[in-house]
Amino acid sequence: MPQPTDPPASPPTPRAEARTRPSTLVPEARHRLVDVRGGRIHLVEAGTGPLVLLVHGFPESWYSWRHQLPALAAAGFHAVAIDVRGYGRSSRPEAVDAYRMLAHVADNVGVVHALGEETATIIGHDWGSPIAAHSALLRPDVFTAVGLLSVPYSPPGGPRPTSTFAAIGGDEEFYVSYFQEPGRAEAEAEPDVRAWLAGFYAAVSGDTMPSGESGDSGGHVFFVPPGGRLSDRFPAGPLPGWLSEADLDVYAEEFERTGLTGALNRYRNVDRDWADLAAWHGQPVTQPSLFIGGALDASTTWMSDAIAAYPATLPGLFSSHLLEGCGHWVQQERPEEVNALLTDWLQVLPGSPGTGAE
């Protein structure tokens, strides 16, 4: 089987027409489209220096890193936030299996080379966290350090994922299982994308999640009753404090244009990933690493055992942080705190502006 993680034989030339177009949303940043194997990736970049690749999760976009782009640039780094394949202005292949983990790793390698670099630090949030972790695991020659936000690293392996998820909900359906059938979640969300996104963001934000929604109390918003919809348990009320009406418009306008299928297809590849990554089952990520999560986030409570296992699974861990009162959207809920943690870590990495080492 071809190895999707191999970089192109010769890195493609970045598309010059987008090289210097400034972002109207983040004035310090510039948009660019670059060719990667199998498509194009849209990215937004700021600053010069060592490359830091920022990978968002579901249902988000490059805009989720709007607070980090100028902060990392000011600290002496070339900060680059991508639209993951299936999102925004990046390619959206039709085939479900085009969204397997190996394809995302290959995209990240392609972006690094398209930017004229050989190596990068990679940082991911939500689904971007396992994408970043597996990029580092599969291509340590390219990704020399990895930062993980919200979703802890858990090595590949274990039981078949869809079987595990099917057993979680009991009489109800776990949201990952709910997302498996093509078209099902789209039919719920796409008639009013803006309202659905607002509810989804609020459901797992520290200041708006329903009482008892952290993993300690079951997190019922992640479960769908028979005949119900995921949004039936979204909270009603104001937007989270980190999300303005204008911010919500940015996300909604992108998904109104693209739909959610490309984004949801990441969930529909968990069994393919399990098979594709069999050779790496149980393997640690050994590069320098950092973890930041929200103490109220179900991802950190359900996966507390994964965090406890970091001495074995992330032996290069610099530090691990759980932000009190914070939910799932850590870099948007707590931008100043996250920026400080990221820059403190980045500055001690080999070759960073802080060390002066080559």
Residue 192 designated active-site: no
291 C-beta neighbours (distance < 10 Å), count: 25
Which of 42, 104, 113, 328 is catalytic? The answer is 328
| CA-closest candidate to residue 330, choices 201, 175, 145, 193 | 201
Output the six-digit token pair for 108: 């990240």
- In whole angstroms, what is the distance from residue 282 CA to residue 91 CA? 32
Collapsing DSSP to helix, strand or coil, 119 comes out as coil
- In whole angstroms, what is the distance from residue 255 CA to residue 247 CA? 13
Alpha helices in 126-221 (DSSP H): 128-138, 161-168, 175-178, 184-189, 193-203
Residue 328 designated active-site: yes
Which of 35, 83, 107, 126 is catalytic? The answer is 126
As a three-state string, the secondary structure of 56-96 is: CCCCCCHHHHCCHHHHHHHCCCEEEEECCCCCCCCCCCCCH
CB 312 within 8 A of CB 284: yes
- In whole angstroms, what is the distance from residue 105 CA to residue 127 CA? 12
Output the six-digit token pair for 127: 């689904």
- In whole angstroms, what is the distance from residue 270 CA to residue 127 CA? 11
CB 86 within 8 A of CB 92: yes
Cβ-count burial 53-73 (b if 16+ within 10 Å, e if not): bbbbbbbbbbbbbbbbbbbbb
| For helices 128-138 and 101-114, angle between their N-to-C axes, nearest 10 degrees | 70
The residues annotated as belonging to the active site are 126, 328
